[in-house]
Structure 1
């Protein structure tokens, strides 16, 4: 974990060099004082301190992707130290020396931290932080906004690499190729004599199931990201649709929505909950080799309402881009609403006893139906949808994940420009939305890593909580411009990029400390050493849902409950809707690129 770097500006005796080599293993336990003592036995104190400063320390936490030159730039230091240096990595020359400030006990990690604020450093280049008696950080870049272009593009392309039903060839997929998968007709569960074509869509996560509820949320994130930050997206992501004069983020959303259209029962308008095999395939099985029978599971309220909502969104956004697709989406959304009107009782989905794939169950469909009503109201302007929303929507939770979509509903309504809008309802929602945003800011100020996360939120998919809180803050900033909101958004990006208690970059293919073993079957089953790039992993999960995390993380602080192990689905799985929410956040950072 800790590597030796060439030491410049100091001539070491043979004995000191041997001591330095020994010191590297000692600092793996973060015991810098012991390392210094070992070195001091072989050389003078100053020489020893200079040597320690060249040892990589994961107690110096930085954004390993980089910092925008005009932004606030902070590293978080675990421990009680006095000063730090910023060093030009290309020359090993010190460019800034300052005192460390702030002393906070971080509740989520158990760390006692202080801060290295080097915001005044604006020169572009590659640097590292050095702390006497502790060591040096991973390297990072200071540059323009385009320093996040690579990671943003990779996260969007990762959704292309999750596509089902098409050939991923080297022209677009590079090394991450496979033949067309899951093209066979799927059987209706309970009536195997009936088969339908539901090819396409995205492999939802580390498995090959395709689920209507999270697919709708994934597409909604992409559409909202485009609505809020259209200038951040190009038509040149090197996917099959690139060059068609439509931003590739919309092409990707369309690919997912076209699959959802296939999941709608054409007679009733209801939407099937999912299509999967009866269980999960082996971890080493590539998608084109997975030929188990596929089963379409029954219609559910949540799948139908989420579909109606995202189809109405697509109808609005694609109206002047792809008229035929827009009309088909609107017709499908209206038909899905008809199903909801005809089935007022909650139609719940639960896995049958012989089905072991993901359930994506819910105990209520009220937030999903409110979302459908709000999107249909915003798209059509018809009063009946607004009336339903006004009567049934309650401000407060504002969820932006698959299990609670009330935040999507609120966004649709407060940004609607219909003459039939209820201004009092809009103001009520805005007030509650801003109150929650202020709560996130308050939480971030108390957090040692400047993150808008409570220690209880480090559960399955905690990185989605990080990004969804950031999305909430971006919407709040649109309602009431505030640097506190946008600073908290940037701190979420810093966290995902390595400025966290584990110094772990949570996006595959990026950072100095990279994810190497995601719970992701194509990454495990292919012949490529590096995992598929651009995938956001779930992150710390104090619930310890899998056997690996239970065995190796028991007793750890919530923010430390993560392990880079392919068998730890509770901490290291991927999901399209974790990517899509992160795409929204980094789109903000990439504006005007």
Structure 2
């Protein structure tokens, strides 16, 4: 669960509705309502020659942009003059906004955009603008490792842990060492970890050429003959195996919100009354504690939401590792099948537990997880039973419920898109394939009308972890194009990528240290930076939240003056400040989704460059 400052432990229901206001933070009405100064926002990573290329102008309502120029930064010559198709009106801090489309320019080079009122930073157009970005983001996951941590060159949480809610007596000792810390706290969740593993494996499966080998399996520097992305995925798989130690045992999380009592480096964790040993919560499929003093229990009613994620990660791990480590892969297949069986036998959700506060990862869907698992197992075994079951699960949730909505509870619909639709569609033919791609299109079409009403093409809601939703939604758009060969969501997909790297009201990348020359987070909500003064290279921060959410949070006190003050608004806020735990905390699973997305974009550049160099026949 995302870190809460000290002992306040208050996370609001993440609904886009007004809540009680804290006296410690400004309500949305306290934000200045004057318009921000004119600016041109760009994707700081740059643009692919054959891709969609759009910048956004924002500024006062009384300024009109009739044309813009793309200027070669070396020669100072104008290479393209564009004319905005329409004015999009007010958005966030801006009284007026325009989309500046220069997709017609394909010549590699370094450029800037100029209007009479504003000029953009310089950026590149080149096929290699995303080169190395996916590998760069693996740095954050290595830093999040639990057990042996290669960044600290030290070990932590080596006493995990003692069981709760299981068929065995409470406090039974099991070996649950390893995996990754979930975010800037040190809790560990099976759901986010399995989803992270799956995205890493899928990224290598789909785009193997973009990953390098510069680290050992321990995470320490040095090539070992395996891509670093597989080393990282295997670190996660090893932990998932410990969390599913026998066919009828499945564990859901390590530690709970007692973790949030204070910031410290991981080896100093001792908040559970048993030295350094932490609780390991069993997937009981029944309600578990959700804040003792609130006399509340969570709404767990099955295990399929966790079991399905385990099964899909194990199955894909088997597919990718069976040629290089047959014995390990065989064990993964057996665990995939036993986890899937648990999901079939106990449909429903296994939500997380909390002790001090009533707030949890309140996942409410599970059929998507079982669909993905069924698709992966069908791909391995060609057993038609898995295919039929996958279709049954697909029909239960054609569209991920948050798509097109403005509200959702924290991690209510998780993962944030239906990965099963894509995997099942790849294995389907004819009408079955068309129906599944139709499900993907249906979800995108629910977001698209909202997006097309503003210059940033923003249709993803500003709920907690909005950046995670942004990366996931971009992937869904690209998957639809890959399955159908149609590009009519290409501009929407690229707008979500651009948003993450600076084409947003604040003009900042949402990824620590990426790109190296850009405006990126430097003061995230993390003990690693705040106490250890370590960089969080590659971490995707939570992202902007609605002003109504920010205004209702307790315990937020910005540590420094807000460098983005001119671009905050009643609509949405973002702070690069340690004190803002709602917008500036990196997450493990969001970063993993970003790794997949960046691998996709780097591969797109490689593919188009190879096509350009191929001699004509």
TM beyond 0.5: yes
Distance verdict in 2 for CA 1:135–1:411, change over 3 Å: closer
Cα offset for 1:331?
0.8
Distance in 1 of aligned mates of 2:36 and 2:369: 51
CA deviation vs aligned residue, 1:411-437 (integer Å, no higher than 9, x gap): 232223xxxx68654432222223434
Residue 556 (structure 2) pairs with residue 578 (structure 1): no
Residue 520 (structure 2) pairs with residue 514 (structure 1): yes
> How many corresponding residue pairs?
518
Structure 2 residue aligned with 1:373: 374
The equivalences for 1:14-53 within 5 A come to none
Distance verdict in 2 for CA 1:559–1:340, change over 3 Å: same
Q: Secondary structure at the match of 2:124?
A: strand
Deviates more, 1:182-191 or 1:118-127: 118-127
Deviates more, 1:495-504 or 1:388-397: 388-397
Structure 1, unpaired ranges of 5+: 1-28, 33-56
Distance in 1 of aligned mates of 2:77 and 2:484: 41
Distance verdict in 2 for CA 1:95–1:150, change over 3 Å: farther
1:136 aligned to 114, 119, 124, which one?
119
Deviates more, 1:497-506 or 1:312-321: 312-321
Distance verdict in 2 for CA 1:410–1:347, change over 3 Å: closer
**TM-score, reference length from structure 1:** 0.78
Distance verdict in 2 for CA 1:253–1:526, change over 3 Å: same
CA deviation vs aligned residue, 1:433-469 (integer Å, no higher than 9, x gap): 2343455555544431134x25xx1111111221111
Cα offset for 1:548?
6.1
Q: Is contact 2:352-2:360 (8 Å) kept?
A: yes
Distance in 2 of aligned mates of 1:387 and 1:224: 23
Distance verdict in 2 for CA 1:446–1:321, change over 3 Å: farther
Distance in 1 of aligned mates of 2:451 and 2:200: 26
CA deviation vs aligned residue, 1:354-400 (integer Å, no higher than 9, x gap): 35597323345333333333322222222332333333431521479
Structure 2 residue aligned with 1:404: 414
Structure 2 residue aligned with 1:469: 473
Deviates more, 1:571-580 or 1:235-244: 235-244
Cα offset for 1:124?
4.5
1:298 aligned to 240, 263, 282, which one?
282
Distance in 2 of aligned mates of 1:364 and 1:118: 41
Structure 1 residue aligned with 2:386: 385
Distance in 1 of aligned mates of 2:72 and 2:434: 50
Deviates more, 1:369-378 or 1:306-315: 369-378
Residue 477 (structure 2) pairs with residue 498 (structure 1): no
Structure with max Cα Rg: 1
2:490 aligned to 477, 486, 489, which one?
486
Distance in 1 of aligned mates of 2:36 and 2:364: 49
Distance verdict in 2 for CA 1:322–1:503, change over 3 Å: same
Q: Secondary structure at the match of 1:184?
A: coil
Q: Is contact 1:103-1:113 (8 Å) kept?
A: no
CA deviation vs aligned residue, 1:86-105 (integer Å, no higher than 9, x gap): 455567x3444635413333
Cα offset for 1:272?
0.7
Distance in 1 of aligned mates of 2:205 and 2:514: 27
Residue 251 (structure 2) pairs with residue 272 (structure 1): yes
Q: Is contact 2:214-2:222 (8 Å) kept?
A: yes
Structure 1 residue aligned with 2:532: 526
Q: Secondary structure at the match of 1:489?
A: helix
Q: Is contact 2:114-2:120 (8 Å) kept?
A: yes
Q: Is contact 1:100-1:115 (8 Å) kept?
A: no
Distance verdict in 2 for CA 1:449–1:255, change over 3 Å: same
The equivalences for 1:174-213 within 5 A come to 177-189=152-164, 191=169, 193-213=171-191
Residue 161 (structure 2) pairs with residue 158 (structure 1): no
Structure 1 residue aligned with 2:196: 218
Residue 544 (structure 2) pairs with residue 569 (structure 1): no
| Higher share in helix | 1
The equivalences for 1:425-440 within 5 A come to 425-440=432-447
2:455 aligned to 445, 448, 451, which one?
448
Higher RCO (CA-CA < 8 Å; seq separation 6+): 2
Q: Secondary structure at the match of 1:587?
A: helix
**TM-score, reference length from structure 2:** 0.75
Distance in 2 of aligned mates of 1:251 and 1:333: 20
Structure 1 residue aligned with 2:333: 330
Distance in 1 of aligned mates of 2:221 and 2:538: 19
Structure 2, unpaired ranges of 5+: 1-33, 272-276, 286-302, 404-410, 607-617
Report the RMSD for the aligned CA atoms in angstroms.
Answer: 3.3
Deviates more, 1:193-202 or 1:483-492: 483-492
Cα offset for 1:283?
5.4
Structure 1 residue aligned with 2:600: 588
Distance in 2 of aligned mates of 1:157 and 1:240: 11
Q: Is contact 1:490-1:589 (8 Å) kept?
A: no
